[in-house]
Structure 1
Amino acid sequence: MDSPITCLLIDDDEDDQEIFLLALRKLDSSIACSFADDGAEALRKLRQDETFVPQFIFLDLNMPGMNGKQCLTEIKKIAHLQHALIFIYSTSSEAKDILETKQLGADGFITKPAQVSDLIDELSKLLLDC
């Protein structure tokens, strides 16, 4: 890897944040990951600091306040993030959610796996093969 990979996970579930970080650490300890507990916090971070440009954004759909689809729509409006890859990271596997988020500009959809090893495999495909 030329430069460290940077990720942002937007998810209101602390356990899911910990599992995601564990999977990243097992995959490659040099991957940097920031967290936002909801869409509003994520948008504040992303808008206020134009030097913070994660290569990969993982976004939960079901969050209080601003849901993932609303957050995705707002992230797509931020000019300095035009090259960031945005993946929905949700417990949903509904075809409607997958279609709607792709129409809103998501680059992919990951249904949260039950096993950390499955998450590591999924993240490996996305982060290391790009």
Structure 2
Amino acid sequence: MTTNVPTILLIDDDTDDQEMFLSALEFIDESIVCNTAPNGYEAIMQLNDADSLPDLIFLDLNMPVMNGVQFLREVKVAHKAKDVPVVIYSTASDNQTIQEAKQLGAFQFITKPEKFSELVGLLHGLLYPATR
């Protein structure tokens, strides 16, 4: 029996944001699997070693070592994860950044919400679009 529980990779260097994101996922469905990476480089290492790819990648843009734009450039070209939808999850909200991310293959752009309830709503809508 297959389940429709999504697996997620969250790439974000902010541990508070990671905790809120993981709490929101747990609130939506405790069986959702979410791995985290503190930057694009670590994420690529995780993806290289993974037996199976995540269903969705949430990507912060402003990170040390390898930022979100650099990660997108590398993954969307010739990586085994190039077909995994990437949702930009960032505090950046200017049009130039959004356009650049979309040109590089980002599936969607979400500005990090300040309220937990907003994050739950956003994630639920993304993960289970038919039930909105």
> Which category of TM-score, normalised to the shorter sequence, fits these structures?
over 0.9
CA contact (8 A) 1:89 1:110 kept: yes
Q: Matches of 2:18 and 2:29 in 1, distance apart?
A: 16
- Compute the displacement of 1:28 (Å): 1.0
**Structure 1 Cα separation of the partners of residues 41 and 82 of structure 2:** 19
Q: Which residue of structure 2 lines up, in the alignment, with residue 69 of structure 1?
A: 69
Is the Cα contact below 8 Å between 1:12 and 1:38 reproduced in 2? yes
Decide whether the 8 Å contact of 1:47 with 1:78 is kept in 2.
no
Q: Give, in angstroms, the shift of residue 78 of structure 1.
A: 4.5
Compute the RMSD of aligned alpha carbons: 1.5
What is the one-letter code of the residue matched to 1:27? I
Post-superposition, which runs of at least 4 consecutive aligned residues in structure 1 deviate over 6 A? Answer: none
Aligned pairs (5 A) from 1:44-59: 44-49=45-50, 51-59=51-59
- Return 5+ residue gaps in structure 2 as ranges: none
Find out whether 1:106 has 2:106 as its counterpart. Answer: yes
TM-score by length of 2: 0.91
Q: Percent identity?
A: 48
The corresponding residue for 1:17 is: 18
Which structure 2 residues correspond to residues 76-115 of structure 1 after superposition, within 5 A? 76-115=76-115
Judge conservation of contact 1:88–1:106 (CA < 8 Å) in 2: yes
C-alpha contact 2:87 2:107 (8 A) present in aligned 1: yes
Q: Give, in whole Å, the separation in 2 of the partners of 1:121 and 1:29.
A: 16
Name the count of aligned residue pairs: 129
Report the CA distance between 1:14 and its aligned residue: 0.6
TM-score (norm 1): 0.92
Q: CA deviation at 1:84?
A: 1.3
Q: 1:88, 1:66 → 2: CA distance? A: 15
